[in-house]
Amino acid sequence: MQSIISSIKQIGLLTIALTIALAANFAYGQWVNPTAAPTGGNVQAPINTSTQYQIKVGNLGINEIIAASKVRSDQYCDFDGNNCFTNADIANLIAGNGGEGLDLVNGLHSSGQCTSLGGIVTDNGSGNLFCRFSESSCPAGWAQFNNWSTTNNGWRGGWQSCGYEQCNTGSHGWSNRARETCQYPIVTGESDGGTCYYTSATVYAGISEIGCY
């Protein structure tokens, strides 16, 4: 009987000690405030069938995607994530630019379009590419780049009532120079005293080459 009482006392003392220890742990434990107000800081919901916009950080492996409406991205790449097409590349493919960028100055046309029209891709010396055509004007949808051109002398002359009149425009080789002009005098009348009255007509140099973009 004495042995049973002794055992009960020991169990009681152990229970009291454990209770005191547990109470002390709660008493000295520190409260940590939430990192964000509700419902912030919650764990992200798994990808599901809801209509809400969802973002997954990291890569997502899928065997096949079937879109009922559209698929959007800023780049479309091969399986390894290389050899990517941008939206601009795709727009060029649709426009028939061979998939290359619109690399000519001002971003309206490509080198491929230039050569397909018989032009020569040319650099202005500052890294700006444009197309050199052996024509007097740019193709439809193109515009002249600055004054890049090659000109031929323009001339007009002939006898008039007050004598022989003429003008020559001059010319220039391939360069960024304005097209030359001259003023051809035209007699409009003559006084009784022999004074001649003139107006003029503008004569332009011919263009044999032109730079376009």
Query: So what's the pLDDT on residue 46?
Result: 79
Q: By three-state DSSP, how is residue 44 classified?
A: coil
Which pLDDT score is estimated for 134? 98
Q: Which of 170, 171, 180, 179 is nearest to 211 (CA)?
A: 179
Alpha carbons 201 and 155: distance in angstroms, whole number:
12
Q: Where are the domains of the chain?
A: 153-206
- pTM score of the predicted model: 0.54
**Residues of the chain below pLDDT 50:** none
d(Cα 202, Cα 200) in Å, to the nearest integer? 7
Tell me, what's the pLDDT at 158? 95
Torsion of CA 168, 169, 173, 175, to 10 degrees: 170
Confidence (pLDDT) at 85? 67
In this prediction, residue 127 carries a pLDDT of 92
The alpha carbon dihedral of 62, 63, 65, 66 has a sign of negative
Reduced to 3 states (helix: H, G, I; strand: E, B; else coil), residue 61 is coil
pLDDT one-digit tens code per residue, 131-169: 999 999 999 999 999 999 999 999 999 999 899 999 999
